Amino acid sequence: MAAKASRAAFGEALLELGATDDRIVTVDADLSKSTMTAKFARTYPGRAFNLGIAESNMVGIGAGLALAGRIPFVCSFACFVVGRFETIRISVAYTNANVKIVGTHAGIAIGEDGYSQMGLEDIACIRALPNVPVIQPADELETRQAVAYAVEHQGPLYLRLTRQSLEPVCPPDYRFRFGRWLVLRPGTDVTLIGTGGTVFNCLEAATRLAAEGISAEVVNAACIKPLDEELLLASAGKTGHVVTAED
C-alpha cells in the first residue's frame, strides 16, 4: 500500500461497508469533502445528513439516529468535535448511544491549515468520558480494519484521523484487535510508543538509534483507550525505559 491519509482510508472503507449495511449513516457539519464522507453522501443520499455549521446539533441528531437503530458516523475536524464536549457528554456518553464520532485533522501535523484547525485537546477530553473508547490507526490497513470494527462495536466510539498521508507500518497479515497494541520492532534498551501518525516517526527513530548501538522496541498503540496494560508493562519491564510520541 502507498502512503495515504487515514481520513481518506476511512472514507473508502465506509463507502464499502455502507454497500452491505444500510444501518450506516453519516452526519456532517458542512465538512464532508474534508472528512471524506462526500462520496458516501453522493452514493447514498438518503443516508447522509449535512447539518451546516452546527456541530452540537450534529452530535444530538447522531445520538437520535443511534437510538432509532442506525449506526451514525458523526464527522468533523477533531478541534470542532471537542468544542461540543457537553453535547457528547450528555447525548452520547451518558446514554451510551451507538454513535461513532470521527475527528479528522488531528494534531499539529495538519501544518498549513493552522492552529485554529488543530485538534490538540480531543484525546484528553474524550478519554475522560465513560463508555467511549479512543482509537487512532497508524496507516491505511489499520484504518480500514478499525472502521469495520467501529461498525460492529456496540456503543459510542471515537476514531481519530489524520489529514496528512501515513506511510504503511502494519504487516500485510495484520488484524486489528480492540484494546491490543502491536510490537512493530522488538528491542531491548528503550520502548518507543507511537499512535497514529507518530508510529512511523518511532520506526525512523529506532533505525537511527540502532546506528548508535541502541536497541529500540517500537509499539503501535492504536487503542488509546483502553490501554494495552499487559503489553505496556511487559515492554517497559524488558527495556526499562519508555518514550511516548504523541500529536
pLDDT tens figures, 189-207: 999 999 999 999 999 999 9
Residues marked as catalytic: 55
In order, the DSSP letters of 64-77 are HHHHTT-EEEEEEE
Eight-state DSSP code of residue 52 = -
- Does 4-166 match 182-245 in CATH topology? yes
Domain covering 4-166: architecture: 3-Layer(aba) Sandwich (3.40)
The secondary structure element, H or E, covering residue 182 is strand 182-185
Give residue limits of the domains in the chain.
Answer: 4-166, 182-245
**Fold of the 182-245 domain:** Rossmann fold (3.40.50)
Is residue 62 within 8 A of residue 27, CB to CB? The reply is yes
pLDDT band at 80 (very low <50, low <70, confident <90, very high): very high
pLDDT band at 28 (very low <50, low <70, confident <90, very high): very high
Residue 163: what pLDDT?
93
Task: Tell me the whole-structure pTM to 2 decimals.
Answer: 0.96
Residue 56: what pLDDT?
95
Residue 54 pLDDT exceeds 80: yes
C-alpha–C-alpha distance, residues 33 and 55, integer Å: 16
